[in-house]
Every structure is written in structure tokens, then in C-alpha cells.
Amino acid sequence: MKKVIVISVAAIAATVALVVFGPDVLDLYRLDHAIDASAKAYQADGGPWPHVNDTCFMCHGVKGNSLNQSYPSLAGQPAAYLEAQLHNFASGARRNPNMGPLSMTLDNAQIKDMANYFSRVTPVANHYFKPDARLRAKGEQLVAGGNCAACHGAQLMGHDQFPRLAGQGYDYILAQLDAFASGARSESTGMMKNIAEHTSPEDRKAIAHYLASLEPKH
């Protein structure tokens, strides 16, 4: 009889505890499940914590899809281009107060891994830029007339050493065109310097409007 009473009391206590603390216990279970799933997804995306590319997300956005018009999106950029630029930053061939010191901390294997990682990420559209219709239309004509697709691909998604232009940040694109025009930035073919320095500041703005408004397509 005593055993039955003890069991009954325990059952009642368990029921009361479930009623009182049940929601909290369920929330803790859900939180633990979410953390576990997130950790597994993180490791599947690039191995155990920390990933070398974690540092990049602060400026270049989650998985390299930038939300800031001044910072380029790395997602979907050709691996060869990213690798070359990281080496250029490290050597000082391309100058940037942030990327220079950061690139110098990476060894060749880390640079290759980082470039391969971002090249596999699906790029998203630049929804945070609203182009001026007149400048966009003018930019489209200039890009077509300049045959940018010859180097950067039919969809302007880049390949090999040529970068993806479609959907990049407006401020970033304009800054690079201005840098090529002034000679502050260069590349091995000399093509971009020749194009940029023979393009007016207004036309460079138009080109940037058009490229920034394009949706990246594979």
C-alpha cells in the first residue's frame, strides 16, 4: 500500500513539474537541438571552428554576400581571381589598409582554400541598391558597346582571372573604375586602365549603376 502511495505521489509531482516547468524544458530542448544542428551545418560548410573565412564575413557579408555597397561580394567570384587578388594584397601589388595586413597572415594553402570556398557559394542579387533609371540605361549601352562580356563572360559572372561584375556593390565598382583611371590600381593586361581612363566620370557612374543592378546568374 505504501509503495502505491509513493508511486502515486511521485507521479503527481512529475505531472505538476511538467505543467510548471514543461514549457521551459521544451524550450531548452529546442535550443539544444538548434545549436547542435547549427554546429553540424557549420562544420559541414568548412570544417571545425574556427574557419579562416570567418574573418571575411564582417565586411563581405555572410558567406561573402555583401550588404554594403563599398565592400565587394566574394560569393561566386572565380577562385583564380580571388587567389590572385589575395596574393596581390599580400605582396603590396594591390593596396588596401585592411586586406594587405590580413592577406599577409595567410599561407598559400589557406589562400587557395578561401578562394575555393567563396567560388562555390551562390551569389545573391544586390537588393540594397536602387539604380537611377537614366544612368542604368546609359550604363547598359556602355557595357555592351565596350564588349565587357568578352572578358567577364556573357552574364558578366567572371571566369578564371576575370572577376564577377554582376550584382557587385555600386560604390565598390565605381571606386575600382576610378582607381584604374587614376593608375592607383592596375592589372596584367592593362585593359582596364585603358578603358577606365578613356571613360568620363559620369560614364563610370552609369556603368556602376548598371552592373550593380544586375542579378547574378549562373
Can you read off the three cell numbers belonging to residue 51?
574557419
Asked if 103 and 82 count as a contact pair (C-beta separation under 8 A), the reply is no
For cell 552592373, the residue is 211
Task: Check the annotation: does 58 bind a ligand.
Answer: no
- Is 148 assigned to a binding site? yes
Contact indicator for 118, 64 with CB cutoff of 8 Å: yes
> Measured between alpha carbons, how far is 41 from 58 in angstroms, rounded to an integer?
19
> Which residue matches cell numbers 570567418?
54
Whether 159 has a binding-site annotation, put simply, is no
Asked whether residue 157 is marked as a ligand-binding residue, the answer is no
56 among annotated binding-site residues: yes
Residue 59 labeled ligand binder: yes
- Dist. CA 17–CA 22, nearest whole Å: 7
- Residue ranges for the known binding site for heme c are 56, 59-60, 99, 148, 151-152, 192
- Residue ranges for the known binding site are 56, 59-60, 99, 148, 151-152, 192
